[in-house]
Structure 1
Amino acid sequence: MDNKDLIKGTVTPIVLALLREQPRYGYEIVKVVNSRTNGRFEWKEGTLYPTLHRLEAEKLIKAEWRDADTGKRRKYYLLTRRGETELAKRKEAWTAFSEAVSMFLIGG
């Protein structure tokens, strides 16, 4: 089954949730998502970066350059207070949505 449509609707809340844990750079986000989902979500940079740019424009996240252990500079993304509020709203909406869908798929 192709899960692209399902995954598409989860990119924003997943990114916000990961940034709530700690600041992260783009490729790190991709690696964490792929790892935590055991490869079920195979994100690529092309999936992530448009979302990061949109979230930054909406002031839900902000970016800052930091020195990495390798000596290179990386762009880290951080969750803003506005982003925290948005994440709480999306978490509430997701809970209600998943409960409603479960009524059909599982029964209830």
Structure 2
Amino acid sequence: MLPDLDNQLKKGILSIIVLKLIAERDMYGYEIIQLLDKNSDGYYKLKEGTLYPILYRLEDNELIESYRVISAEERKIPRKYYKITLKGRESLKHQIALWKLFDSTTNKILCI
């Protein structure tokens, strides 16, 4: 296997995966990290330094928005949640279609 292929493939799909998770429900950063790790059986073990630039880029492109919530039970420090925008939903739909095309075409070429 090419040394960097695994990392390159992950980097290429992470924005779509993060956007998809946020489309399912509003989430905060640490929750996204935990859910990715759990749902991928440990394949996507993200660090905050990897996730937050993705979240900031999605927010800069107006695909997600953030808001803060103070939980009385847990702590007094506001937790930053992310939610998908209408533009984000449209973009996600398009990105998933592109991914499906990429996946099926690549599998066809590789005879999988």
> Percent identity at matched positions?
36
TM-score computed with the length of structure 2 as normaliser: 0.90
1:70 maps to which of 67, 70, 74: 74
Which consecutive aligned stretches of 4+ in structure 1 deviate over 6 angstroms post-superposition?
none
Alpha-carbon deviations, 1:56-86, whole Å to 9, x = none? 1111000000123412320000000000000
**SS of equivalent to 1:97:** helix
Unmatched tracts of structure 1, length 5 or more: none
Question: In the alignment, which residue of structure 1 is the partner of 2:16?
Answer: 13
Name the counterpart of 1:98.
Answer: 103
How large is the RMSD of aligned CA atoms in angstroms?
Answer: 1.3
Structure 2: which 5+ residue stretches go unaligned? none
The one-letter amino acid paired with 1:82 is K
Indicate the residue corresponding to 2:87 in structure 1: 82
Q: 2:37 corresponds to which letter in structure 1?
A: N
- Number of the residue aligned with 1:25: 28
